[in-house]
Amino acid sequence: MTRTSASPLSAGTPERTRFTAVLRAEWTKFRTVRGWVIAPVIAALLCIMFAYLVANGTHTDFCTGAGNCKAGHPFVPTGPNGQAVADSYYTVGRQLTGDGTITTQVTSLTGVISTAMTNVAPSQAQQTRPGLAAWAKAGILARPSTRQGSAYAAVMATGGHGDRFQYNYSHDNPGRSGPVSTSSPRWLRLTRTGDTLTGYDSTNGTTWTRIGAAHLTGLPVTVHVGLFVTSPVSFQTSASGSRTLATATFDHTIIDGHTTPNAWHGQSIGARQQDFYPTLRVGSYQRADSSLVISGSGDIAPAVVQGLLGADTAASSLPFGLTVALIVIIVVATMFITAEYRRGLIRITFAAIPGRRRVLAAKAAVIGAVAFVTAAAAATVAISLGERILQANGAYVFPASASTVVRIIAGTAALATVTAVAVLAVGAITRRSAAAVATGIVVFVLPSIIGSISSGGAVQWLYRLTPAAGLSVLQALPRSAQVDYPYTFANGYYPLAPWAGLGVLTAWAALALGIAAVVLRRRDA
């Protein structure tokens, strides 16, 4: 506040009005117009009301393949960190007590892809064509139990991502790259030492390369170990995905350690009707000479599948109400400045406080604070209310950590603040309500609508480049590099990370504010 203003009116003014005084003046202006005080309250109430309506309008019906639909949602496993996971595969295994090592050779990995989309019943999806999903997995798995969502570590060959060592759904270490075939088989080894599981791969079965290790705290003495095959939904040919099935041949399987005496035991995990993850069919295994041929469908990975599950997040009832609230805030922010121009009050303001940029700063602070409080309060209530009603309606609510919820609330408040300031700046530049209000609304609402009507990439760019990128703060669903999924707007993913999106909006606001500051200084009041 020590910089001198070049405002013509302030020239020769010995003392400058303190910023707090300017701030108080603007705050008094704001709170003494009844409509401006009521509007944010209405904005918050509208936001909450629409969150309630949206949550209430969402009814999940859970349909089985036989066409029986009932209220409620399919079963979604919860992983060790509380995250939603996919955990469906076919395994052939036994119990291992104490330390031990399992070694196997994968000699082939092939697959089929359903020609139908995932949204048809599995019984109608049986027509297939050859094709291997990039994240089809075949390898060795060790876990305390076969309960879905329990901890695990696995070393595997994949359809298109080479060898991998993965554990607890979200951890992934790459090994040797390249596909598996009879001419280029792959050796895999998983070793258990205490709580530590280590994965290796090899091309010849003699020289081993360590891929990664996992420390699974509290691993019981006896664990399930086995060979497994799974194959996730493929989105290569259709936006709604197709079920797949992979088949792998394992040779030279050796378990070195204290195992149960009974023979290999085949088990299908997560392919029941109530399981959410789409599988082509229940897997199977057969013994041929010394080798074991296993086929499986599903995935062991984080669940990122709003499109598959129709799942809601804690914040999913918020966006519409927030948009309504933003429109109200945009109107108030616009009028906070244009009303002064309309009646010539701006001249009195600038005569009283010659530092025009400080007036702009004070106005921005006041309207920003109002928007912040309004949005923060509305989002807090709307999210918890929405979550409660969604659950009451039987919808599956994607688990979100407390930090995610706090981030969404803080992000929403920041979004409203920056929007209000940007619109204020546009109002200062244009001095007219029409431009500021129309721009504000079109910018925030239109991309969502275009996103819903066009499948093209245009909408992705709208959410990268336009101020609408700020809506990225609403992102609640996690992404995962281990899942091939169209992370598009239509599937609930903004193209930018939350804070990056807010950054884009802030850049626009800063630009508008900068232009406003220059224009205010140069222009006669």
330 forms part of the interface with other proteins (CB under 8 A):
yes
d(Cα 257, Cα 434) in Å, to the nearest integer?
77
Over its C-alpha atoms, the chain yields an Rg (Å, rounded) of 29
214 forms part of the interface with other proteins (CB under 8 A):
no
117 forms part of the interface with other proteins (CB under 8 A):
no
d(Cα 95, Cα 265) in Å, to the nearest integer?
10
Tokens 């595969």 correspond to 89
46 in Cβ contact with 324 (< 8 Å): yes
d(Cα 259, Cα 237) in Å, to the nearest integer?
43
434 forms part of the interface with other proteins (CB under 8 A):
yes
Type of residue found at 342: R
Q: Return the half-sphere exposure (C-beta side, CA atoms, 13 A cut-off) of residue 400.
A: 26
Cβ 81 to other proteins shortest distance, Å: 29
280 forms part of the interface with other proteins (CB under 8 A):
no
517 forms part of the interface with other proteins (CB under 8 A):
no
Cβ 123 to other proteins shortest distance, Å: 23
- Residue among 301 and 318 whose Cβ is closer to other proteins: 318
Q: Quick one: how far is CA 229 from the chain centroid?
A: 27
190 forms part of the interface with other proteins (CB under 8 A):
no
Cβ 503 to other proteins shortest distance, Å: 24
Q: Quick one: how far is CA 189 from the chain centroid?
A: 34
236 forms part of the interface with other proteins (CB under 8 A):
no
254 in Cβ contact with 92 (< 8 Å): no
Contacting other proteins within 48-77 (CB under 8 A): 50, 53-54, 57-59
221 forms part of the interface with other proteins (CB under 8 A):
no
Binding mask 356-385 for other proteins (x = CB under 8 A): ------------------------------
Residues 6+ apart with CB under 8 A from 83: 169, 170, 302, 303, 399, 478
342 forms part of the interface with other proteins (CB under 8 A):
yes
Angle at 29 between CA 24 and CA 30, to 5 degrees: 95
504 forms part of the interface with other proteins (CB under 8 A):
no
- Residue among 50 and 277 whose Cβ is closer to other proteins: 50
Contacting other proteins within 444-463 (CB under 8 A): 445-446, 448-450, 452-458, 461
What are the phi and psi torsion angles at 213 (to 5°)?
Answer: -140, 150
- Residue among 220 and 456 whose Cβ is closer to other proteins: 456
436 forms part of the interface with other proteins (CB under 8 A):
yes
The Cα-based distances of 459 to 222, 465, 492 in angstroms read 52, 10, 13
Q: Which residue ranges make up the site for other proteins (CB under 8 A)?
A: 50, 53-54, 57-59, 237-238, 317, 319-320, 323-324, 327-328, 330-331, 334-335, 338, 342, 432-434, 436-438, 441-442, 445-446, 448-450, 452-458, 461
